[in-house]
Chain A
């Protein structure tokens, strides 16, 4: 039996730090990635797709977003079991209620909003969902799996969203706890989990799939789906990690002091992978460059802005410094040279406005025909 295990699609989520068209493209890619998943399910001929929570980023996504998502699911006609997570908990008037009311849910898509077995007769699969019916559940909602009754001949597979107790970093365990041995105590063939955005194995039969499309710089090992094969003899599941993300997120930090540093930065950007338009980069620059080197840097960054999906640059720690040659060009410029020298002193004393002012002054001086 083959299953495709995925989670944390978070459809409708924005990209706060990434403005404009870049942000729109990234947001749209979440839906595109669902198509990728459907395609993967179809090519791998899986028996079901298990989505372990946080399908939607919020209860208040627009109707259009809801319809768009369910339309994408038609690309794979097999069963999809969608589990409410903490972002889209099965609360009153939830996004799931709205989807049903809109008539957007295709027949082969199961909304696991109740803690009750979903029996897929054709596959002989009994999906035991532990939906979150509140955003934060203090108790382990998978507890009922231990006593769940399923008809004979069905393979029991758990589906839950939360933090495996004692397994994840402390900040991830604030709510929605899941017992680490739930797969064993409930005698499950596999426990498909969501909430942790990186792909992560908890134990032999328990995995976090992670988000299929990377959406932040900090997640570890995101951008995958899990292809799970359950042997007919009840043995251990075979789990394959399949990359599904389109965009790669990179957080870089580069010190800049010499011209070579600018060149090295270009090399680093070039080594991020192809295609460059699928790379999202957060670049922090530190140090101090001469005006000429700064001009080179600006040119380099302008070029990469066009090549990357998104390049965010934090250069608040980067200053410019006037070289001796820069200042020498002002010889004979009278008070202009005096002003430039004072701005240079200010810049060296850590006054960023003075550094920029000096840069402006020198540029204006050249433009006005001085030097």
Chain B
């Protein structure tokens, strides 16, 4: 199909007739600035083709120019299948439609029907048509800003048209209407049985579960039945064992064995008692023999004791005698030593008196010397104290002080300064006269002239008198200050009792010399009689002590040595006294030792006497006991009795041994073991009987309890249910497996068919894409939408591409569709691009222009653009709107 001319009147902003005629079959560029009506032109063409002339309502009114109650009109010339047609429509007011072509004319609804049949599009039930109704026009006709919003998805009617073309290419269809429905049906069926991961669900899962439940129920019942059978078998075995025990008389046998063993046990017990009797007799005989033996031994012991004590008594008497001799000898020696000690102590007293006398004389010498030294020190200290006192007194007599002197110096200076200021203020008078002169009054000469401080008079000899009056303004004040300063200085001098400052300074120097002397005497006193030693009083006290000690010391006799001889005499006296002390100590030690010897001898004598007395008492007591015992039974009687009892004991012991041997011959341990075993066996056999009886009763009870349940019938019933569940599960499995296979086979075949179906489109699309996207393959959906690109093994969704790339892919896809239709001999509507490719860079824009031109060789391509110059290089026919 090809558009040849369009004429628009009163359509929105295109009021005056706008006509574009002689559109070429290939590429045409329709230029116009923004808002000049390019898009309105397209809307007008679209309305003419797809909107019924009788369209009412808002959609119809939207065609009118704003605020103008006029009827929009559109006229189109186009060719379809080589036939030229003219379509004219008027909307809103007196709507009309007219279609002429192939020598025929259709009006109004007939025109609409013919147009629909001719172009192959759909109409909505009512209202304005939408893109999905426009068939291939909608696919190939792109408005501003639509290209990159989403993938190019052909509408249903477009797909039908494309399918018609593609069918002829591949000779295969996508299963017609039935195919997709079957795909859906089997997918739904499969979902009924299987999860996406291929695991059972729904009816299939429930069938498996039901089978498992039935199986578990049957197995549980079988288990109970099995347990019942086991109980029955067990009961049978128990009863058999009980019967066997009864038949064999197991308990009776055991009891007989027990009785036999117990009989032997009785015999054993008798022999045991005999043994006990014999052993008792033997024990009694032994006791009696022991008693006799004890009596005999007692007698012997007593006899031996008496004899032994007699011997001890003789020995003790001898000992006493010897000890008496020793004691007397010791006493004589002690007396001798006592006398020697007395002589030694007398000599010692004499030596001590001599030594004390000589030592006293030596002490006197020492004390006297000390006494002389202290007296001398006391005299010096007393002198120093008096000198200090005198010096302080002399200092105190001088009134001037350091502070007073300082004040006097200040007053002297103030007086000087006041005098100076007075002189400075005085009137200077110089005299150069040839006569003698005299100046009187308040004037002072200084060699060069006079300074007049008040009234003065110059008497010039022979000349006369000159009265001078100092006239300075400050002079009276200065004179007053000088007078006050002098008065103050003079008062200070009077107070100190001096006439001048120099005299005062001299007086202060003397005062300080006296004070220094006092200080020196104090230091001397402190050295001679330190405060810590009590000062002068301490010295006097020490002197008194020494005098007192001297009074107590011996005075030397005529022949007493003195000096060096006294020291030697003292030493000799000391040595003699020490020698006397040593002699006295040795004598005392000898006496003490002998005193101990005497004491020891006395002790031994006492012990010997005590021992003798004790022996004598014991011997008398034992002798008395022996006499008394013998009075009861003499020694011979006791010896005979012992011999008799010994004989009896031997006989009883032999009898007991024989009885024991007779007992041991019976093997008591074996008999007792046998009895224990036999009794245990009887107990065990009875217990076994009772145990079997109890078990049998228990088993019977259990069997009676389960008897009524009809377990075997239950098992049969449950087995039947299990088989039914098995059959059901098998049937569902078969159905589920078949559904799985059918759905899989359908989907696989559909996938392959789709690939074959999409191949022709790819044949056109791929070369276009590779101009811009080297190595790229389009990813096409079942609905022929370009869902993205496959590049380098990576899939990129359409929406992930850049805006420019999306726009370019969208345009190329449309060119490919148009190429495909044109190639197949179909009627491709013109490809119309409204302000497309605005996002392309220059290189891609140039490539796209090249591809547009190439595609336009097969079908019509209309490019509406606000920049027609960009397309100049294509050499395409250019039209203008507005």
Contacts and interface: CB of A to CB of B under 8 A. Distances in A.
Contacts of B326: none
Interface of A: 12-20, 23, 27, 57-65, 91-94, 98, 101, 134, 332-336, 338-340, 342-343, 346, 351-361, 364-365, 368-370
A43 B233 CA distance: 42
A333 B178 contact: yes
Contacts of B236: 91-92, 134
A16 B232 contact: no
Contact of B752 (A27, A94, A335): A335
Given A93-B232, A93-B235, A333-B176, A361 B710 contact: no
Nearest to B734: A356
A12 B707 CA distance: 13
Nearest to A346: B741
A253 B737 CA distance: 27
Contacts of A93: 232, 235, 699-700, 703-704, 707
Nearest to A362: B742
B179 A334 contact: yes
Nearest to A64: B710
A357 B232 contact: no
A354 B723 contact: no
Contacts of A351: 741
Contact of B185 (A57, A352, A368): A368
B877 interface: no
Interface in B689-740: 696, 699-700, 703-704, 706-713, 715-717, 719-721, 723-724, 727, 734-735, 737-740
B232 A335 contact: no
B239 interface: yes
B384 to A, nearest CB: 150
B638 interface: no
Contacts of B239: 92
Nearest to B754: A335
B723 A17 contact: yes
Contacts of A20: 720, 724
Most buried by B among A18, A101, A134, A357: A357
Given A14-B720, A19-B723, A360-B739, A335 B699 contact: no
Contacts of A356: 734-735, 737-738, 741
Nearest to A93: B703
B720 A353 contact: no
A126 to B, nearest CB: 28
B741 A336 contact: no
Contacts of B737: 353, 356-357
A140 B229 CA distance: 24
Contacts of A343: 741-742, 745
A355 B742 CA distance: 10
Contacts of B235: 91-93
Contacts of A23: 720
A365 B229 CA distance: 58
A238 to B, nearest CB: 38
A58 B719 CA distance: 15
Q: Which 8 A-B pairs have the closest CB atoms?
A: A14-B716, A62-B710, A58-B712, A356-B738, A357-B742, A338-B749, A335-B749, A335-B753
B749 A360 contact: no
Nearest to B178: A370
A62 B713 contact: yes
Nearest to B719: A16
Given A333-B178, A336-B178, A361-B746, A14 B717 contact: yes
Contact of A352 (B181, B703, B713, B734): B734
Contacts of A346: 741
B173 interface: yes
B710 A60 contact: yes
Interface in B414-455: none
A357 B745 contact: yes
B749 A60 contact: no
B710 A65 contact: yes
Contact of B175 (A61, A65, A333): A333
Interface residues of B, number: 58
B232 A91 contact: yes
23 contacts: A14-B716, A60-B709, A60-B712, A61-B713, A63-B710, A92-B235, A98-B704, A332-B173, A333-B176, A334-B179, A335-B172, A336-B178, A338-B752, A339-B742, A353-B740, A354-B738, A355-B738, A356-B735, A357-B740, A358-B742, A361-B742, A368-B181, A370-B178
A65 B708 CA distance: 9
A12 B723 CA distance: 19
B560 interface: no
A336 B720 contact: no
A205 B737 CA distance: 60
Contacts of B713: 12, 14, 58, 60-62, 65
Nearest to B725: A19
Contacts of A353: 734, 737-738, 740-741
A332 B176 contact: yes
Given A356-B737, A361-B746, A336 B182 contact: yes
Contacts of B738: 353-357, 359-360
A364 B186 contact: yes
B367 interface: no
Most buried by B among A134, A340, A353: A353
B206 interface: no
A59 to B, nearest CB: 6
Given A334-B179, A334-B753, 12 more contacts: A20-B724, A58-B711, A92-B699, A93-B700, A134-B236, A335-B179, A338-B753, A339-B749, A353-B737, A361-B746, A364-B186, A370-B176
A48 to B, nearest CB: 29
B721 A19 contact: yes
B707 A16 contact: no
Contacts of B181: 368
Contacts of A101: 704
A365 B704 contact: no
Contacts of B233: 91
B581 interface: no
Nearest to A351: B741
Contact of A61 (B174, B712, B742): B712
A98 B228 CA distance: 14
B710 A12 contact: yes
B874 interface: no
B712 A18 contact: no
A147 B738 CA distance: 70
B748 interface: yes
A92 B233 CA distance: 8
Contacts of A16: 716, 719-720, 723
Contacts of A333: 175-176, 178-179
A250 B86 CA distance: 85
B236 to A, nearest CB: 5
B745 A57 contact: no
B232 A92 contact: yes
B484 to A, nearest CB: 148
Interface in B562-613: none
Contacts of A359: 738
B720 A335 contact: no
Interface in B383-425: none
Contacts of B175: 333-336
Given A91-B236, A343-B742, A12 B753 contact: no
A354 B716 contact: no
B182 to A, nearest CB: 6
B347 interface: no
B750 interface: yes
B225 interface: yes
B489 to A, nearest CB: 150
A18 B720 contact: yes
Contacts of B749: 335-336, 338-339, 342
A360 B238 CA distance: 63
Contacts of A334: 172-176, 179, 753
